[in-house]
Amino acid sequence: MHRNAIIDSMPHDHSSQRPLLQLRNRKDTPDSSWAAVLAPRLAQFEAVARHEHVTRAAYELGMPQPTLSRAVVRLEEELGVALFARHGRTLSLSPAGRAFLASVERALSDIERAAESVRADADPAAGKVAFGFLHTLGSETVPGLLRTFRADHPKVRFQLVQTYGEAMLDRLRAGDLDLCLTSPVPDAPELVARRLDEQKLRLVVPDDHPLAVRKRIRLAEAADELFVTLEPGFGLRRITDALCAEAGFTPKVAFEGEEAETLRGLVAAGLGVALLPPPPVPRPGVVELTVTAPRAVREIGVAWLDGHVDTPPVAAFKKFLLSRRGQLLN
């Protein structure tokens, strides 16, 4: 770094004679913040500090030298601190300027990394999709979808979030997710949702249960059974409660869990019966009965935040999911 470089158009006052600048009263501008005030000038300050020469810095930044000179003076006035020591037409960083430069360089580096990250996430060929889905879709459905999609988009990256319905929709609203597969299909003004498919639910009973000799059952016939269910807030729990109500009873819940396969284990242990989607592989110890009445299905759909601007990879994956309407579970 050149410690004694010439400034072409800077004030010619001497640092020893320069009065202490007065710190701006932030109360005078209640809607402003230091970040809002300083951010546009950080790169300008860093360039001047690196070159210790306004003309060279202005050339690098592609801006008029007088404009840059005024910007540096304005920055010092905003901070109330002299960042440069001026001796005639030369300048060097003051102790405050050196301390400020170290933080500015870190901040600009963070901004550069953040900009590169969001640009990389939006890259059409290799960007990122934040995708949420239900636990019950994680063993077969989602891996199959991703395999098919990546056959044509091999470099697209996925951030996968596997959770229950209400938590997933909350993360969608917060902007943490781009898309999610959920059930029931949500109906909320801030969300857009499209039905993709439906999945039959079965009444799962222990293999030594009196009902285990049956192939089909009306749900009302299980009114006196103990049920094992997912916890409140899970979409499948709401569907179970609604189907039982339609069959004319309120289920007597013995156990609540967070995973469908855990519920199957509880059923196999003789602790109750459950309404569940088909398992990825047959589970020993249980028998799965077709429910003939009421119609026991759950609709599965894709949802996204209304007004959300899709990056190219998100748009491509959304189009792919919508093309799987009626074939999502095949």
| DSSP structure string for 266-306 | HHHTTS-BEEEPPPSS--TTEEEEEEEETT-EEEEEEEEET
Q: Is the pLDDT of residue 13 over 50?
A: no
Task: Look at residue 264 in the predicted model and tell me its pLDDT.
Answer: 96
Phi/psi of residue 38, nearest 5 degrees: -90, -30
CA 143 to mean position of chain CA atoms: 20
d(CA 50, CA 253): 70
Average pLDDT over residues 225-251: 96
Amino acid at 327: Q
Structural contact between residues 182 and 303, judged by C-beta atoms closer than 8 angstroms? yes
Structural contact between residues 108 and 42, judged by C-beta atoms closer than 8 angstroms? yes
Which of 30-39, 198-207, 298-307, 316-325 is predicted least confidently?
A: 30-39
Task: Look at residue 15 in the predicted model and tell me its pLDDT.
Answer: 36
Where in 153-206 does DSSP place strands (E)? 157-162, 179-182, 191-200, 202-206
Q: Rounding to the nearest 10 degrees, give the CA dihedral for residues 171, 173, 179, 183.
A: 80
Average pLDDT over residues 238-251: 97
pLDDT digits (tens, 9 = 90+) for 245-286: 999 999 999 999 999 999 999 999 999 999 999 998 899 999
d(CA 5, CA 283): 79
Which of 9-23, 193-207, 266-280 is predicted least confidently?
A: 9-23
User: What's the pLDDT band for 230 if we cut at 50, 70, 90?
Assistant: very high
pLDDT digits (tens, 9 = 90+) for 115-137: 888 889 999 999 999 999 999 99
Q: Is the pLDDT of residue 11 over 50?
A: no
| Residue-averaged pLDDT of the chain | 87
